Amino acid sequence: MIPYGKHTINDEDVNAVVSVLKNEFLTQGNQVPEFEQSLCEYTGANHAIAVNSGTSGLHLSCLAAGVKEGDIVWTSPNSFAASANCALYCGAEVEFIDIDPLTRNICLIQLAQKLDEALRANRLPKAIIAVHFAGSSCDMKAIATITRQYGIVLIEDAAHGFGGKDPQGCPIGEGKHSDFVVLSFHPVKSMTTAEGGAVLTNDKRLADTVRLYASHGITRDTALFPSGEQQNPWFYSQQSLGFNYRLSDLHAALGNSQIRRLDDFIAQRKARAQVYHDALVNLPVVRPVFDNYSAWHLYVIELEMHDRKTVFEVLRSAGIGVNVHYIPIYRHHYYKSRGFAAHNYPNCERYYQNALTLPLFPGLTADMQEKVISTLQEALM
């Protein structure tokens, strides 16, 4: 089976992890700080906090933003459920902004209209989570311009985007126009730590808050306590109700090795996306906008005249692991039970009915990709 996504591991990665197993602390050692520094150097962000998943990073960002019961958080319905779940973890409500049919990211027109309606109804969101779908960045500069007057916290869900750039050519993760950028290092993403993620921010106060929540809410910072209490060498104190969201040194060692090849991974993804883009030009499909700045996490087509289930099954039967990204969040039974309905998001619904994700990853060989293309062509004849 040719999977839709797959990690790329070499001997350097294996040796990095084995070295930690043999010689270093398995957790709370030097590998995590080194990885965080590498993330800052790569993106230009001032602070990075490595965590055990992108989902944890989204939850921590909401917590550090002060999202709580009674607040509202907006996000895209065209994403994995974690983009919305993180707000619910904090007791907030979630609302969705329909997508732009071309970019498949949050629609700026819909955003402006929804903000105007929310202002009149006194229901402005505490935060907006902008999802960089398939590796193409939302226009965070434009979003910041639209939302700045309302004091809304901006969180970039960049789980798909690490290694790419925004429309202005700045690295995804720099966070010039947002409060937080959340990364994922799941095996199908741009690079991997097996499981893992990170929160990037340029605000030291927010970074300190994220780091505290990620480690049980416990600190050893003696400067925070009255004289005398902190003199014992074993001293530590819980300051808030935190979580165990830390990344281990084993995972960070893999990340430290992988990040050295990130640019090459992205270049390979882009090259394979270009092959698809050229080969499918005359087929009855809608191709994604070819974004030169994208990290190309996914290559998603939309079928124009064929039944998706039939095409999906033909490709799967041929050993090609096509997928669908995503079942819109509002379609999940849990969210239906909260009152969400498909007719409120016509652009996302139209996209979902026809979307099909083709395999795309650095290790996708020319022969594999030719099989995907030729089988798809046959299925559409």
Instruction: Give the Cα separation of 19 and 5 in Å (integer).
Output: 28
- Residue 171: left (phi > 0), alpha (psi -120 to 50), or beta? beta
Whether 6 is catalytic is no
Instruction: Give the Cα separation of 15 and 96 in Å (integer).
Output: 44
Pair 66, 41: CB distance under 8 Å: no
Residue given tokens 């509202």 in the structure block: 72
369 residue type, one letter: Q
**DSSP code, position 47:** E
Pair 153, 65: CB distance under 8 Å: yes
Residue 299's φ and ψ, nearest 5 degrees, are: -120, 105
Q: Collapse the DSSP code of 164 into the 3-class scheme (helix H, G, I; strand E, B; otherwise coil) and give the result.
A: coil
Residue 49 CA neighbour count, 13 Å, CB half: 30
Which residues sit opposite 160 in a β-bridge?
Answer: none
- Residue 96: left (phi > 0), alpha (psi -120 to 50), or beta? beta
Instruction: Give the Cα separation of 300 and 173 in Å (integer).
Output: 23
Pull the structure tokens for residue 72.
């509202």
Pull the structure tokens for residue 241.
């109700």
Residue in 114, 126, 189, 270 annotated catalytic: 189
Q: Collapse the DSSP code of 307 into the 3-class scheme (helix H, G, I; strand E, B; otherwise coil) and give the result.
A: coil
- Any idea how long the chain is? 381
- Which residues are tagged catalytic? 189
